[in-house]
Structure 1
């Protein structure tokens, strides 16, 4: 395998938020919304727990929704939505693309990342409601599920929508803004109190009211976004834009692909939630790694016919990937060497197949069987469990992260 690296020495402003001291866990109340009381650890309607309350939201082809607790394997039926065509998550909410638009499921399980420490919460899962629009739908999420925003782009109607996460936590899919961008392709990526919205080959920052500001940057063919602890990244034909927001300003920086590497652009990023290094399949061959901390691209060339690639960004520099034959590979991000691989776990890598990674396990669903495979990617790619959700895992989202 061949690796190529590029390092761009650019100043990067990082948003810093001063937080109060931690409080003890809260008793469940009427809703599972934003922080309340004197301590930032208190959340109304949720119980604070000692470890990540990991679970799976599963949706079958008919729209039935279920929740499977990964700690005790207890299951809960949540009701029904429209027939799904895609499912995305921010680690708490599951966002389903349906004929009605975007239907939101609150798993009631999430992690609150304070950078130097974490809080873990669990509440009753529930269906939140529908954001009307014409799909397909592109979802862009932020770091926190109870604060900030979620970006929604409806390619069928060409509308950019910014959802209020605090309202989602209270059980309503309220919109901060909805604007017509007049395009069938786009990105609405949450940033600060607003969002970066694609306007042709330009990313423009819109404030919370939806008004366009003077902050903009060129980004040819914008596609795919991800938020890390360091910055928001948006893919472009020639690299990526990294964005940060503070009380004073929005900072936008272009990070080009390295010279001499012709591997093709990226269309989507994936990583363990919040980690600074993210992975993306290259259009032509191999995959890219983008360090949002170093503002550096690394291309990993491989003969594997990869369909998914997720950066664990752990101490061992693992990248977990899925090939076209349904095998999960564990790769060394620094050398590109294969460390371990499973046998074929999925007969067909369809659009509903998802691969997610947390700090210990990876999860791969098989829509044909309705099963979910739990893989110990740090332990020789061992299949630790094969889970059988009562609601078939035609689509799945790992939550509690």
Structure 2
């Protein structure tokens, strides 16, 4: 976390909240029996009103059937399935680790998944609370939503960005927004108490929380598509590779991570998937390969696979997990490209990567110990132990077709 003297009003509010969380941990056992849900004059470190602090990650899957609008939240700790309000016409489902964002033609419906974590660097707090509807954000299909602990940035398909206070969403209200000037070629990304964007002509820009231009690195990202926040900085997908934007003591720098050779447009990395907290990113590299970007080493690796539907990895020496059109998961050693494990076909029918204009279809979500794969036609979700040759640990049978899935609580 980076604290500076020129913190704006919104930043100050966020830092006050964080300062309440970073006092002594003494006396907090993190168990359900010890969790507090009412204010106290001596509130323990990590106290959040209306939530319970837990000893372990409270992972949940938010699932939607875009044909019917039926929506479920699957608690991965208890195995219980929660039925929540229907959201029809969903073309895309995204998350920031707590909220599920259901993108529809009439706007983006926001669902509080009721599970999240707060990372203080040297320790982490895990929370659970009631699942509830929050409201609707403006912006239809093509809207990109990115968040940090203080703000949520919503960039519409025309490149206009609005910034909302995170505290409002956490209290169950969308609230008013601050609009950034100009238009942007990709998503506006909150990072290091600032907002990062790319102009239509490919120039990286930095704003403070009030929307005023701050000192920006002299860097270009042509044809920006795809972004990811890692511990090393923000990664942007560009025509010639990736651009890593970092902040250090209030100064922003940018470093290009080129592919190393000419890459055809159809084989570029345009959408990243990774385990939250990991510095290893994955992206399709055409129809029969996957890009793996090691942000720490600033190195791309192209792994040849079978026909790719979805891919992900836990990073840090774990296998690359690829769902291929045979319906099975395949594990590849990233360094050598060798296939080292595979499952039986898990996805019913011939899986594809989703309809045009939609991300509906099987995806792979990865957390610190398990991976999750949705089988829409089979009305199931599989829990995979990727550290044990892609062993199927649990199978969850549902009463809906979970064509859209994200994991919260991370």
Give TM-score scaled by structure 2 length: 0.83
Q: Aligned equivalents of 2:78 and 2:194: distance in 1? A: 39
2:107 corresponds to which residue? 101
* 1:312 Cα deviation from its structure 2 partner: 0.7
1:171 corresponds to which residue? 172
Superposition pairs of residues 313-324 of structure 1, within 5 angstroms: 313-314=315-316, 316-324=317-325
SS of the aligned residue for 1:215 comes to: coil
The gaps in structure 1 that reach 5 residues or longer are 1-13, 31-35
| Residues 331, 177 of structure 1: alpha-carbon distance in 2 compared, 3 angstrom cutoff | farther
Superposition pairs of residues 153-232 of structure 1, within 5 angstroms: 153-155=155-157, 157-174=158-175, 176-179=177-180, 181-182=182-183, 185-200=185-200, 201-216=202-217, 217-232=219-234
Q: Aligned equivalents of 1:21 and 1:221: distance in 2? A: 46
Instruction: Please say which of residues 173-182 and 242-251 is displaced more in the overlay.
Output: 173-182
* 1:29 Cα deviation from its structure 2 partner: 4.4
SS of the aligned residue for 1:218 comes to: coil
| Residues 253, 366 of structure 1: alpha-carbon distance in 2 compared, 3 angstrom cutoff | same
1:10 corresponds to which residue? none
1:6-59, Cα deviation, whole Å (9 max, x unpaired): xxxxxxxx95899433252542249xxxxx976541111111111111111112
Instruction: Please say which of residues 123-132 and 74-83 is displaced more in the overlay.
Output: 74-83
SS of the aligned residue for 1:42 comes to: coil
2:9 corresponds to which residue? none
Say if 1:286 and 1:299, in contact at 8 Å, map to a contact too. no
Answer yes or no: is 1:369 the counterpart of 2:375.
no
1:42 corresponds to which residue? 47
SS of the aligned residue for 1:45 comes to: coil
Q: Aligned equivalents of 1:253 and 1:177: distance in 2? A: 30
1:58-95, Cα deviation, whole Å (9 max, x unpaired): 12223232212112212222212342111111222111
SS of the aligned residue for 2:304 comes to: coil
* 1:260 Cα deviation from its structure 2 partner: 7.0
Answer yes or no: is 1:140 the counterpart of 2:146.
yes
Say if 2:377 and 2:401, in contact at 8 Å, map to a contact too. no
Q: Aligned equivalents of 1:151 and 1:140: distance in 2? A: 5
Q: Aligned equivalents of 2:125 and 2:204: distance in 1? A: 34
2:291 corresponds to which residue? 288
1:33 corresponds to which residue? none
Q: Select 1:55's aligned residue among 56, 60, 68.
A: 60
* 1:307 Cα deviation from its structure 2 partner: 2.5
1:357 corresponds to which residue? 366
Answer yes or no: is 1:125 the counterpart of 2:131.
yes
The alignment yields a C-alpha RMSD, in angstroms, of 2.6
Say if 1:366 and 1:393, in contact at 8 Å, map to a contact too. yes
Q: Aligned equivalents of 1:262 and 1:383: distance in 2? A: 36
| Residues 331, 163 of structure 1: alpha-carbon distance in 2 compared, 3 angstrom cutoff | farther
Say if 1:68 and 1:389, in contact at 8 Å, map to a contact too. no
| Residues 108, 74 of structure 1: alpha-carbon distance in 2 compared, 3 angstrom cutoff | same
| Residues 383, 178 of structure 1: alpha-carbon distance in 2 compared, 3 angstrom cutoff | same
* 1:293 Cα deviation from its structure 2 partner: 2.3
* 1:391 Cα deviation from its structure 2 partner: 4.6
* 1:131 Cα deviation from its structure 2 partner: 0.6
Q: Aligned equivalents of 1:337 and 1:15: distance in 2? A: 41
Answer yes or no: is 1:88 the counterpart of 2:94.
yes
1:314-347, Cα deviation, whole Å (9 max, x unpaired): 3x33221212332211121222211211222222
The gaps in structure 2 that reach 5 residues or longer are 4-17
Instruction: Please say which of residues 101-110 and 159-168 is displaced more in the overlay.
Output: 159-168
Answer yes or no: is 1:72 the counterpart of 2:72.
no
* 1:213 Cα deviation from its structure 2 partner: 3.2
* 1:180 Cα deviation from its structure 2 partner: 6.3
* 1:269 Cα deviation from its structure 2 partner: 1.1
Q: Aligned equivalents of 1:255 and 1:20: distance in 2? A: 39
- Tell me the matched-pair count: 375
Structure that is richer in strand per residue: 1
Q: Aligned equivalents of 1:104 and 1:48: distance in 2? A: 23
Give TM-score scaled by structure 1 length: 0.85
Give the number of the structure with larger relative contact order, counting CA–CA contacts within 8 Å between residues 6 or more apart: 1
SS of the aligned residue for 1:242 comes to: strand
Say if 1:372 and 1:387, in contact at 8 Å, map to a contact too. yes
SS of the aligned residue for 1:166 comes to: helix
